[in-house]
Amino acid sequence: MKLENLETPALIVDLDVLESNMAAMSRLLEGTGMGLRPHYKSHRCPAIAHRQIAAGAKGMTCAKLAEAKDLALSGIEDILIANQVTDPAKVARLASLAKCCRLSVCVDNGENVRQLQEAAGVQNAMIHCLVEYEVGMNRCGVDTPQAVLALARQIMSCPNLRFDGIQAYAGNLAHEEDEAKRREQSDVVENRLRELKAYLEGHEIPVREISGTSTGTVEMRRKDSVYTEVQAGSYLFMDMAYRAVGAGFSHSLFVLASVISRRPGAVITDAGVKSVSVDQRPPAFQGYEDVPVEMSEEHSAIYGDFPLAVGDKLRMIPSHCCTTVNLHNWLYLVRGDKVVDRVPVVSRGRSL
């Protein structure tokens, strides 16, 4: 099966580039003491999670309980849900899942800790907990070392919970295009975490893990980083948003599109916002990266007198790899011009 035989729109991954991105991440982390716990949200595809584990990842990060279940059912043994799970029905399922694998979850309030202990106690499970610390996203998490300490103590008093450390994801810095500012604010986060760790240890709370960082900031972590693990996801694929911040990885993910209509000065393809996401910025066509793309639901258009005819195929570089993969049922793995496998996006839409 050749790439040219694929019907479009089709989501393709260049395996050679994917592998070189994985090797580049391993080199970045070598000697830093930081482990890699890649984020499942970027591919939602157990077949790729297994490649990451085989390449040395210590486990997987995910955002939702439904993703964690898919990972566990696929044989992944160490899973972090980098999010709060508060619905009582979900908490009960989380406790069940914690009997199947090493499962960690984030918490930011005491009532949730109480719920987790109750559910884990009933099922005789052990749930690992990270307290989420708010470091800039203005999203979940607690704001002060005192609040972290109170939650850590509460967790440590629960027989079926284990306090492992801190979740600290500064996703707001991941796409900061001013590198100096990204580095400076990244250092501010490091310092806040260092102070937090010292504060907790001063109160005899051991902090085994500090989990976070991203594709956009991993290069800024030094050997003395306080982080113990990196939750990057997009490094596998890259996208136009990470290209804008100069992240040191190459594009391996594309939406293959076909020209379906041609007028003087206009080229129309069959891939629209139902095939490539636009939540971060517009996508771009490879070879035409500087040409603005006009998107509608099932079409994209570039305007200019390009040497393209109906039937020609183009590779679209997604603006945001994670939300683009979530639009597709299948990922075609290619080497050169050959399709070598098709793997299901098992956790597509699994946001429960």
The contact set with its own copies (CB under 8 A) reads 7-9, 41, 63-64, 83-87, 89-90, 108-109, 111-112, 134, 137-143, 171, 258, 260-263, 266, 268, 270-275, 277-279, 294-299, 301, 303, 310-311, 322-323, 326-329, 348-349, 351-352
> Shortest gap between Cβ of 83 and its own copies (angstroms)?
7
Tell me whether residue 29 or residue 148 sits nearer to its own copies (CB atom): 148
User: Within a 13 Å sphere around the CA of 196, how many CA atoms are in the beta-carbon half?
Assistant: 31
Comparison of 20 and 323: residue with beta carbon closer to its own copies: 323
Of 49 and 271, which has the nearer Cβ to its own copies? 271
| Residue (184 or 294) nearer to its own copies, CB | 294
Residues 175 and 169: their CA atoms lie apart, in Å, by 13
- Say what the alpha-carbon torsion angle 38, 41, 42, 46 is, to the nearest 10 degrees: 70
Which tokens is 91 given?
């908490």
Residues 107 and 141: beta-carbon distance below 8 Å: no
Q: How far is the CB of 329 from its own copies (least distance, A)?
A: 5
Nearer to its own copies, 273 or 284 (CB): 273
Residue 79 C-beta: closest distance to its own copies, Å: 16
Where would I find the H helices in the chain?
15-29, 46-54, 65-73, 88-97, 110-123, 145-156, 171-174, 179-202, 240-244, 321-325
Distances (CA, A) of 264 to 115, 249, 315: 63, 36, 22
Residue 30 or residue 143: which is nearer to its own copies going by CB?
143
Residue with tokens 């806040």: 192
CB of 56 to its own copies, least distance (A): 25
CB of 154 to its own copies, least distance (A): 16
In the bound state with its own copies, the residue whose beta carbon lies nearer, of 219 and 298, is 298
150 token code pair = 């109170």
Residue 144 CB neighbours (<10 A): 12
Strand partners for 60:
79
**Cβ distance 166 to 210 under 8 Å?**
yes
CA torsion through residues 216, 242, 24, 2, sign: positive
Chain centroid offset of residue 263 CA: 39
User: Tokens 């005192």 correspond to what residue?
Assistant: 146
Which of 98/322 has CB closer to its own copies? 322
Shortest distance (Å) from residue 287 CB to its own copies? 21
Residue 230 CB, nearest approach to its own copies (Å): 18
At its nearest, how many Å lie between its own copies and the CB of residue 182? 18
